């Protein structure tokens, strides 16, 4: 597998490790919570850079990221059958995220809040998460895909 996308993967992981994202969760965060936040970050990433020019590169990034996620699930200790089911669930979740945030920039605050709540319903302060993802989306729109490919961007 091509390692040239490891910088993007690591940046997305670092965004996901932001402790402020978890402060409104009434329990200890889990792998599933972190994975959901990772997938949401990745959804915004793909939304911002999706165009014909980037199509091939984004597909490679998509493949790389899901391969890395599969490896992480294997490290946790899931068996082969469980991994296939988990990966199918996570890929379906991811595609529903991409679908829900596709028109993010045109949505009202209430509509955005409803979208965030679909995926992060166990988090208590979804308005704080909405602000975070609005800012994340804005920051992505100001940068080029190439800056992420070259590992210039730091979370």
C-alpha 57/C-alpha 66 separation (Å) is 14
Tokens encoding 109: 């605050």
Interval 72-91: pLDDT, tens: 888 887 777 788 888 899 99
Q: Is 64 helix (H, G, I), strand (E, B) or coil?
A: helix
pTM of the model: 0.90
The DSSP bridge partners found for residue 123 are: 25
What CA–CA distances, in Å, run from 100 to 20, 83, 112, 120, 143?
24, 25, 9, 13, 22
Q: How confident is the model at residue 148 (pLDDT cuts 50, 70, 90)?
A: confident
pLDDT value, residue 120: 86
User: What mean pLDDT is reported for the chain?
Assistant: 88
What is the C-alpha separation between 149 and 133, in angstroms, rounded? 21
Cα torsion 141, 142, 146, 147 to 10°: value is -130
Residue indicated by tokens 């909405």: 130
At 32, which helix (H) or strand (E)?
Answer: helix 31-49
Please spell the DSSP secondary structure of 79-92, one letter per residue.
Answer: -HHHHHHHHHHHHH
pLDDT, residue 151, reads: 66
CA distance 141 to 139: 5
Phi, psi of 123 (to 5 degrees): -85, 140
pLDDT of residue 152: 56
- The domain spans of the chain are 3-149
State how far the Cα of 49 lies from the Cα of 52, in Å rounded to an integer. 10
């Amino acid at each position: 597998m091509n390692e040239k996308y490891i910088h993007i993967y690591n940046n997305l992981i670092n965004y996901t490790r932001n402790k402020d994202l978890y402060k409104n969760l009434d329990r200890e965060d889990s792998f599933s919570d972190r994975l959901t936040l990772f997938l949401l970050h990745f959804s915004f990433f793909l939304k911002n850079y999706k165009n014909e020019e980037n199509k091939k590169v984004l597909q490679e990034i998509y493949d790389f990221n899901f391969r890395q996620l599969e490896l992480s699930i294997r490290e946790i200790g899931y068996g082969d059958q469980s991994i296939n089911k988990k990966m199918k669930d996570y890929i379906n979740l991811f595609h529903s995220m991409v679908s829900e945030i596709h028109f993010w920039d045109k949505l009202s605050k209430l509509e955005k809040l409803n979208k965030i709540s679909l995926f992060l319903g166990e988090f208590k302060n979804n308005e704080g998460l909405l602000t975070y993802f609005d800012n994340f989306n804005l920051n992505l729109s100001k940068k080029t895909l190439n800056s992420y490919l070259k590992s210039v961007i730091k979370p």
